[in-house]
């Protein structure tokens, strides 16, 4: 930071549903910015809507953040717990003449808006109670006295300078008639009290920024720095939907994506560092700046996510992948040594974690193995004699390595004027039972001599 101040950022989701991709990216940007500058990243659960907020949603948010590795630097703040503070600030503004009591009923406000629409104006509250209204024995809301002339200017780190004419704003409600504070007030008070210096959020909040800036000004509080990031669209350019990626973070976890790959891919949705597409979290922290965020909506592309995940799988620690694979396929726990030997091969072939588990399943198959119907036809009177001859030669092999196995089998093929495509399906049927596995030479080596020959002989004599 230019003035030496350490930034304080926050992620402030509403617990009314899962942690979706857009929210996860917002959290990531706040986290990465704070980490880049050695600052503080905070989490606030905006649960003032008690009717819609659920513990299940809160748990989903916390679990999603934990899986993504976006650890906050303090315990979460629950907004509803600060309601008394929010009310006190509204009453302060009321006492200072910067807010007023509004006795208008919901029906009266609706009528004002309908009249404005009929006259071709923006539907809004008309300020009936702004200059004082005879008190009545009825509930009242507290409205903010918004400036009616001049402009509100926001210097946005992503969008640039945003200027809004104050005459466009009506007097927003700070306290509802039941005494509960509104979102607009609560956000300002909490951000101030939490010491937030940078508000990084979706650009669907841009209109809120001007209104919130007016409240900051009325309270004579320092305005945070704003950075409104473009929303994420689907691959088709339309608003992100469940069909095009708008799923909860836990869905991507369950589909077998790595958290480091998700961090990498989400960072590239709207932010860039030159032409770098695949990078580590350490590199993300080193490189992340707000001026590298673009103004155009990013497009969520599952194929690109798969590509990034595949590359992170290939770079991942083998021991960690073994643990993840056994968690998906517990039967492999008894074959950990073979799985460890196979992992360098398996992870090169995989896109997601379940691919590794599926490709490794042959290690734990019980004899006689079940052969897929599509492969069964390759075990016939034409191929079985060759399998028998090869089994006899393999039985005499003392060096059971991939290279030695490949050399022996290719020599047999050359002697008999055969192509690998002729016998490979029969080998795969005998050793694996389906098409999910590494190459035949690797499968033979990983199974070990006794198991490999036993599986071959089961099918030769079948």
Distances (CA, A) of 22 to 64, 250, 432: 13, 13, 42
Question: Does 231 fall in a domain?
Answer: no
Structure-token match 């002697």, residue found = 415
The CATH number linked to 167 is 3.90.800.10
CA–CA dist 203, 158 (Å, integer)? 9
Residue 99 makes CB contacts below 8 A (sequence gap 6+) with 90, 93, 142, 143, 144, 145, 174
Question: Does 224 fall in a domain?
Answer: no
CA–CA dist 309, 351 (Å, integer)? 6
Which of the residues 115, 239, 242, 410 is marked catalytic? 242
Do 101 and 145 lie in one domain? The reply is yes
Range of the domain at 99: 81-187
Question: Which of 357, 296, 288 has its CA nearest to residue 326?
Answer: 357
- Least confident window among 106-110, 179-183, 417-421: 106-110
Do 332 and 381 lie in one domain? The reply is no
Do 312 and 381 lie in one domain? The reply is no
Question: Does 11 fall in a domain?
Answer: no
CA–CA dist 321, 203 (Å, integer)? 38
Question: In this structure, what token pair is assigned to residue 53?
Answer: 């907020």
Do 86 and 162 lie in one domain? The reply is yes
Q: What is the mean pLDDT of residues 396-407?
A: 97
Do 398 and 325 lie in one domain? The reply is no
- For 111, the enclosing helix (H) or strand (E) is helix 106-118
Do 87 and 181 lie in one domain? The reply is yes
pLDDT band at 448 (very low <50, low <70, confident <90, very high): very high
Half-sphere exposure of 153 (CA within 13 A, CB side): 4
Contact 233, 300 (CB under 8 A): yes
Do 97 and 169 lie in one domain? The reply is yes
DSSP 28: H
Question: Does 70 fall in a domain?
Answer: no
- Beta strand 173-175 pairing with 141-144: antiparallel
The CATH number linked to 305 is 1.10.1160.10
Question: How many domains in the chain?
Answer: 3
Q: Which percentage of the chain shows pLDDT scores above 70? A: 98
Structure-token match 């860039």, residue found = 272
Do 454 and 404 lie in one domain? The reply is yes
Residue 49 makes CB contacts below 8 A (sequence gap 6+) with 14, 16
* Environment class of 55 (CB within 10 Å of its CB; exposed 0-12, middle 13-18, buried 19+): exposed
Q: What is the mean pLDDT of residues 437-458?
A: 96
Domain edge (last residue) among 187, 213, 228: 187
What are the pLDDT digits (tens) for 155-202?
Answer: 999 999 999 999 999 999 999 999 999 999 999 999 999 999 999 999
Structure-token match 């009545």, residue found = 136
- Least confident window among 77-81, 117-121, 401-405, 423-427: 117-121
Question: Does 432 fall in a domain?
Answer: yes
pTM exceeds 0.85: yes
Domain edge (last residue) among 134, 154, 187: 187
Question: Which of 150, 152, 132 has its CA nearest to residue 140?
Answer: 132
The CATH number linked to 419 is 1.10.10.350
Rg (the chain; Cα; Å): 32
- Least confident window among 14-28, 254-268, 276-290, 309-323: 14-28
Catalytic residue at 422? no
pLDDT band at 377 (very low <50, low <70, confident <90, very high): very high
Residue 39 makes CB contacts below 8 A (sequence gap 6+) with 1, 6, 7, 8, 9, 33, 197
Question: Does 33 fall in a domain?
Answer: no
Do 342 and 394 lie in one domain? The reply is no
Residue 220 has what pLDDT?
98
Do 179 and 114 lie in one domain? The reply is yes
Question: Does 453 fall in a domain?
Answer: yes
Do 164 and 262 lie in one domain? The reply is no
Residue 379 has what pLDDT?
95
Residue 29 makes CB contacts below 8 A (sequence gap 6+) with 200, 227, 229, 267, 271, 288, 293
Question: Does 27 fall in a domain?
Answer: no
Q: Say if residue 1's pLDDT is above 60.
A: no
Per-residue burial over 165-201, b if 16 or more Cβ lie within 10 Å, else e, is eeeebbbbbbbebeeebbebbbbbbbbbebebbbbbb
Question: Which of 197, 283, 302 has its CA nearest to residue 241?
Answer: 302
Residue 129, φ and ψ in degrees, nearest 5: -95, 5
């Amino acid at each position: 930071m230019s003035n030496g101040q350490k930034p304080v950022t926050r992620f402030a989701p509403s617990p009314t549903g899962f942690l979706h991709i857009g929210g996860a990216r917002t959290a990531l940007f706040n986290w990465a910015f704070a980490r880049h500058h050695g600052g503080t990243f905070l989490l606030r659960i905006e649960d003032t809507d008690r009717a819609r907020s659920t513990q299940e949603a809160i748990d989903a948010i916390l679990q999603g953040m934990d899986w993504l590795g976006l650890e906050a630097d303090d315990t979460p703040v629950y907004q509803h717990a600060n309601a008394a503070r929010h009310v006190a600030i509204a009453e302060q503004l009321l006492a200072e003449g910067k807010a007023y009591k509004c006795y208008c009923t919901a029906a009266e406000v609706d009528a004002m808006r309908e009249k404005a629409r009929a006259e071709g104006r923006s539907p809004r509250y008309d300020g009936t109670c702004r200059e004082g209204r005879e008190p009545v024995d009825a509930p009242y809301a507290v409205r903010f006295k918004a400036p009616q002339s001049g402009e509100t200017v926001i210097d946005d780190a992503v969008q640039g300078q945003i200027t809004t004419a104050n005459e466009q704003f009506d007097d927003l409600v700070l306290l509802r008639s039941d005494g509960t504070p509104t979102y607009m007030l609560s956000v300002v008070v909490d951000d101030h009290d939490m010491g937030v210096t940078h508000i990084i959020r979706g650009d669907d909040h841009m209109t809120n920024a001007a209104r919130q800036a007016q409240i900051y000004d009325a309270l004579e509080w320092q305005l945070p720095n704003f950075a409104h990031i473009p929303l994420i669209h689907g691959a088709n350019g339309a608003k992100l939907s469940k069909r095009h990626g708008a799923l909860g973070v836990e869905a991507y976890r369950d589909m077998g994506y790595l958290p480091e790959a998700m961090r990498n891919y989400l960072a590239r949705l709207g932010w860039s560092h030159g032409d770098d597409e695949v990078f580590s979290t350490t590199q993300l922290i080193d490189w992340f700046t707000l001026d590298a965020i673009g103004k155009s909506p990013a497009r969520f592309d599952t194929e690109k996510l798969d590509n990034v995940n595949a590359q992170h799988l290939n770079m991942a620690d083998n021991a960690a992948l073994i643990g993840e694979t056994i968690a998906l396929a517990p039967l492999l726990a008894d074959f950990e040594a073979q799985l460890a030997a196979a992992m360098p091969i398996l992870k090169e072939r995989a896109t997601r974690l379940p691919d590794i588990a599926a490709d490794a399943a042959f290690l734990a198959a019980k004899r006689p193995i079940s052969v897929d119907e599509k492969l069964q036809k390759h075990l016939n009177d034409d191929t079985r004699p060759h399998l028998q001859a090869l089994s006899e030669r393999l039985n005499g092999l003392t060096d059971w390595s991939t290279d030695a196995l490949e050399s022996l089998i290719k020599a047999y093929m050359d002697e008999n004027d055969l192509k690998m495509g002729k016998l490979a399906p029969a080998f795969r049927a005998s050793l694996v039972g389906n098409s999910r596995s590494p190459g035949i030479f690797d499968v033979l080596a990983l199974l070990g001599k006794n198991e490999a020959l036993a599986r071959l002989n089961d099918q030769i004599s079948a």
